[in-house]
Amino acid sequence: HGPGIVNFMYVRGQERGGWKWVCRGAPWRRVVPIVAPVVALLDFGLPSEQVMIWFAIALAVNLQTSFLTPPFGYALFYLRGIAPDLPISVIYRGVIPFVLIQLTALLLVIVFPVLALWLPMAAR
């Protein structure tokens, strides 16, 4: 169940413009309270107190990826602002390796939740 929800949210976010609907202002405050109780009820093979921590970290990694992907990649527009003579297509191509790294990290956090949970659990 776990990877399906995060992947669904990633796909829906991409359809709506790279998580613009989640990470800007009030709309994200509507999505997380709706999805979080559902996530808390699902069985991910984790203790119940760890599920929401894992989900929040997976969501954060997912959001980081959205900052690097068009059409609303905020980091891309920042780079465009500091390098105005560089075509946006060059910036898009240059960010591909970093997007692949982010997607790999997201996949690892989904498949191996302990990667996301070891530090929060060590801090307890």
In the predicted model, what is the mean pLDDT of residues 1-24? 46
Give 105's pLDDT tier (boundaries 50, 70, 90).
very high
pLDDT score for 111: 92
Measure the CA–CA gap between 92 and 51, rounded to whole angstroms. 34
Which 8-state DSSP code applies to residue 72?
S
The pLDDT, as a whole number, for residue 42 is 85
Please give the pLDDT value at position 39. Answer: 87
Long-range CB pairs of 54-59 (<8 Å, 24+ gap) are 54/2, 54/109, 54/113, 54/116, 54/117, 55/6, 57/109, 57/116, 57/117, 57/120, 58/6, 58/106, 58/109, 58/110, 58/116, 59/6, 59/9, 59/32
Structure tokens at 8: 């669904």
b/e per residue, 71-84, with b = 16+ CB within 10 A? ebbeebeebeeeee
Q: What is the pLDDT of residue 112?
A: 93
Burial of 21 (0-12, 13-18, 19+ CB in 10 A): middle
The predicted-structure confidence for 49-84, as pLDDT tens digits, reads as follows: 888 899 989 988 888 888 888 777 788 888 888 989
Does pLDDT of 114 surpass 70? yes
**pLDDT above 80 (res 6):** no
